[in-house]
Amino acid sequence: MTRTPILEAARLVFRRDLTLAWRRWDEVTQPLIFYVVVTTMFPLATTPELSQLRLISGGVVWVAALLSSLLALEALFRADVEDGTTEQWVLSGQPLGYLLLAKVAAHWMLTGLPLVLMSPIVGTALGLPFEAWGTLVVSLLAGTGTLSVLGGIGAALTVGVRRGSVLLSLLVLPLAMPLLIFGARAVTMAIDGDSPAGPLQLLAAIFFLALSLGPLAMSAAIRISVEN
């Protein structure tokens, strides 16, 4: 039998997670519902006037998307660490970072991507004009992607901790503030008719940075978590 090449191994991890999620799809929809609920809170808390909501729509959509993604990330590694799958990954002889990145990618496809696709609808409910949809989607694609990597690092660090979700948020949200600043600002600029190219490029740069360094941090964190 020949050794599995790394890309094939990563693809197996990706497909495995999609298969598992398919059999428990109700868990996949929860972050999406949370997203809509949280967004609804803002008009209720401020004003029903769309003209006023529009001013903060970029920020609200972004904050809600970040919080919803974070909610889903908390349990990212827990099942695999508890049933011993993760330690087998550590012992597989494959570069651990790639396997973990594949897992994060599957998780993003199941949670981050639906949020991104839902965001124009949610944004419109807050007065976001059609012209800003493109910027909204692109910024959230990079933002939720980066957050998945950051959340993956946080989830790997807190996997054994009781009530780890609060700690996870405390660790990840400060690191995600730059994403929020650039992303929400990009959307607001698009609403105002200015070109959002600057912040979008910065978002993309942060995303690629996370993609290249994130797997290293996740590997280190996972190796610590299997020490039990």
Partner 1 sequence: MWTWFHKLGSPPHAYRILGKMAPWFGWPALVLILVATWWGLWKAPTDYQQGDAYRILYIHAPSAWMSMFAYVMMAVAAAIGLIWRIKIAHAASAAGAPIGASFTFLALATGSIWGKPMWGTWWVWDARLTSELLLLFLYLGYMALRASFDDPQRADRASAVLAIVGVINVPIIHYSVQWWTTLHQPASVTKMDRPSIALVMLIPLFLMMAGFQLYYGWAMCRRLRGEILRRERNAGWLKEAN
Partner 2 sequence: MASDGALFEARAINAWRGDRHILRDVSFTVHPGEFLKITGPNGVGKTTLLRVICGLLPAETGDMFWKGRNIRGTADEFHIDLAYLGHLNSLKADLTARENLKFLSGLRQSLTAADVDAALDRVGILSRGDLPARSLSAGQKRRLALARLVLADADLWILDEPVTNLDTAGIALVEELIHEHVSAGGLAIAAAHQRLLDDAAILRRLELEP
In contact, 187 and 196? CB cutoff 8 Å: yes
CA 179 centroid distance within chain:
11
Minimum CB separation of residue 170 from partner 1 in Å reads 5
200/208 Cα distance (integer angstroms) = 12
- Residue carrying the six token digits 């650039």: 182
C-beta of 173: minimal distance to partner 1 in Å? Answer: 8
For tokens 């299997």, name the residue: 226
Among 79, 91, 121, 224, which residue sits at the site for partner 1 (rule: CB under 8 A)?
Answer: 224
Of the pair 18, 170, the CB lying nearest partner 1 is at 170
Residue 153 binds which entry of partner 2, partner 1, none, CB below 5-8 Å type-dependent: partner 1
Residue type, 147: L
- Residue 227 binding partner 1, by CB under 8 A: yes
**Which H or E element spans position 181?**
helix 164-192
The dihedral sign for the CA sequence 58, 62, 65, 71: negative
Could you tell me the two tokens for 145?
Answer: 């992607």
Applying CB under 8 A, which residues contact partner 2?
Answer: 1-4, 8-9, 12-13, 15-16, 19-20, 23-24, 79, 83-85, 87-95, 99, 226-227
Q: Give the shortest CB-222-to-partner 1 separation in angstroms.
A: 10
Q: How far is the CB of 93 from partner 2 (least distance, A)?
A: 4
Residue recorded with tokens 């967004």: 39
Give the distance from CA 133 to its chain's centroid: 19
Span interacting with partner 1, options 60-68, 85-93, 122-130, 159-167, rule CB under 8 A: 159-167
* Residue of 80, 158, 187, 196 interacting with partner 1 (CB under 8 A): 158
- First-residue to last-residue Cα distance in the chain: 32
Residue 171 lies near partner 1 (rule: CB under 8 A): yes
- Helix/strand/coil for 46: coil
Chain residues binding partner 1 by CB under 8 A are 153, 157-158, 160-162, 164, 167, 170-171, 173-175, 177-178, 181-182, 185, 202, 206, 213, 217, 220-221, 224-225, 227
